[in-house]
Homo-oligomer: A and B are copies of this chain.
Amino acid sequence: MLDKKITNEKVLRDPIHNFIHIQDQVILDLINTPEFQRLRRVKQLGITSSVFHGAEHSRFGHSVGAYEIARQITEHFDQYYGDVWDSNERLVTLVAALLHDVGHGAFSHTFEHLFGTDHEAITREIIMGDTAVHTILAQVSTDFPNKVASVIAKTYENPQVVQLISSQVDVDRMDYLLRDAYFTGTKYGEFDIDRILRTMRPTPTGIAFDIAGMHAVEDYVVSRYQMYLQVYFHPVSRGMEVLLEHILTRVRELYQASHHNPVPEKDFVGPLLAPLFDEKPLELDDYLKLDDNVFMTYINIWQSHPDPILSDLSQRFLGRRPLKSIAITNETAPLLGELEQLVDNAGFNPDYYTARNDAYDLPYDDYKPNVAKPRTQIDFLLADGTHRELSDLSTLVAAIKGKASLDQRFFFPKEMLNIEPDELFADTFKTFRSFIRNNALTTPNPET
């Protein structure tokens, strides 16, 4: 039985919460596992640091930050709400907060898209599988790993715990908004977390807020909305992501083709990446050896690969020369075929040098029983004990409720915008540019 407090709490210095307070041996042991330490080598925002150069922070800091928020909430609940909150839920909440991202791989978004993995499933696999994490959890009690995994899977019986870890105001979102705002240097992500934590309350059916916290919660929802539009959707980092995706696609093709070749691609892929490109399921052990460094190192090597497309894309990626983009709509999307043809004419294989990429987020929604994944709405307690939903109280939230933020873009090589006069493809480029107005795709004016 390991769920004991340590005598002298340990602290980690943290720029967001000042200190992360570690009071349980389990938490300390989990942090010290190789699986958790791997998170130091996975950037929180992936390639976004190519635009916001401060945003080089890793998932390690975010994970201990989410834990710290959970620690503050459960301490507050233990102290004030013993009637509605069961203090035995404390440890499972803290552990789930700490481990919620432990399955994230390098460049997660791109990775999952290409290789069909699911970081939440891998998180549960790490918790339940043959890992140092599992060993530590199992020392708490036989069913403890399973409890933690079910919180991640949102099937845990106590809705308070599930909502603290996964809901529209959970420890994950609160930490990443503050943290990403801090490291990018944007101000939009800031909100008054102290106020939110003081007014958060357990209820029999989950989590609600005292009406006194309404403006702080409103500000949090608006901040999140602004961060999506201004940071997470940034077209330049998506131009880098597209490069990365095309690099990995190309390598996979070359690797798999090389089985039939006299000269295999093994040297170019190395022992860590090979299992990823082999045509069989990736083992957990192999997955856990992958991190940002591995991909970056091999892209570095691929700069000298004999395949001209792979080496060119790799040089663009490391030299930070992203694909350019323009905004498109459902109305203008049919014109993309013509643009792809022009890119092809200029000598760029459109499969690797163009892409369509949609960024999407639903900033807030109330509970809609009939949709696929109904959301837990944000509720406030009034003086007479009744509840009211956030968008019913806030004009700003009402304006964005249920409306998806969507940014659809077409990516292409920067060379297409070349305006040097004596260029070989001057006419092609000129035609291409005639489709663009205010950085958006338009039907060219016939006379131009």
How far is it, in angstroms, between the C-alpha of A38 and the C-alpha of B50 when the chains are bound? 12
Q: Nearest 4 pairs between A and B by C-beta?
A: A399-B399, A15-B185, A293-B296, A297-B297
Give every chain B residue within 8 A of A400 (Cβ-Cβ).
Answer: 395-396, 399
Stretch at the interface among A52-60, A84-92, A351-359: A52-60
Q: In this assembly, does A64 line the interface, its C-beta being within 8 Å of a C-beta of chain B? A: yes
Tell me which residues from 151 to 195 in chain A have a Cβ below 8 Å from any Cβ of chain B: 182-188, 190-192, 194-195
- Which residues of the other chain, B, contact A291 by a CB distance below 8 angstroms? 296, 300
Return chain B residues, CB-CB under 8 Å to A320: 32, 37, 40
A40 in complex: contacting residue of B37, B53, B230, B396, CB < 8 Å: B53
B301:A271 contact, CB within 8 angstroms:
yes
B interface footprint on A309-353 (CB within 8 Å = 1, 0 otherwise) = 000000100111100000000000000000000000000000000
A214 to chain B, nearest CB (A): 9
Contact across chains for B182 and A187 when beta carbons are under 8 A apart: no
Within 8 A of B (CB), among A275-318: 289, 291-294, 296-297, 300-301, 304, 315, 318
- Is A426 at the interface (CB under 8 A from chain B)? no
- Say if the beta carbon of A250 comes within 8 Å of chain B: no
Task: Enumerate A16-43 residues with CB–CB distance to B below 8 Å.
Answer: 16, 18-19, 32-34, 37-38, 40-41
Question: How many subunits of this chain does the assembly comprise?
Answer: 4
Report whether A383 and B438 are in contact in the complex, using a CB–CB cutoff of 8 Å: yes
Asked if A254 is an interface residue, CB under 8 A from chain B, the answer is no
Binds B, one of A6-14, A116-124, A142-150, A364-372: A6-14
Rounded to whole angstroms, the CA-CA distance of A407 and B399 in the bound complex is 20
Within 8 A of B (CB), among A236-257: none
A56 and B53 in contact, given A219-B188, A297-B272, A438-B382 (Cβ under 8 angstroms): no
Residue in B191, B321, B399 whose beta carbon sits within 8 Å of that of A396 in the complex:
B399
Is A229's CB within 8 Å of the partner chain B? yes
CB pair B190–A319 under 8 Å, yes or no, is no
CB pair A319 B37 closer than 8 Å = yes
Q: How far is the CA of A318 from the CA of B32 in the complex (A)?
A: 11
Contact, CB under 8 Å: A300 / B289: yes
7 pairs from A and B in contact (CB 8 Å cutoff) = A12-B53, A13-B53, A13-B184, A37-B320, A272-B301, A289-B300, A383-B438
Whether A19 lies near B198 (C-beta < 8 A) is yes
- Asked if residues A64 and B53 are in contact (CB atoms below 8 Å), the reply is yes
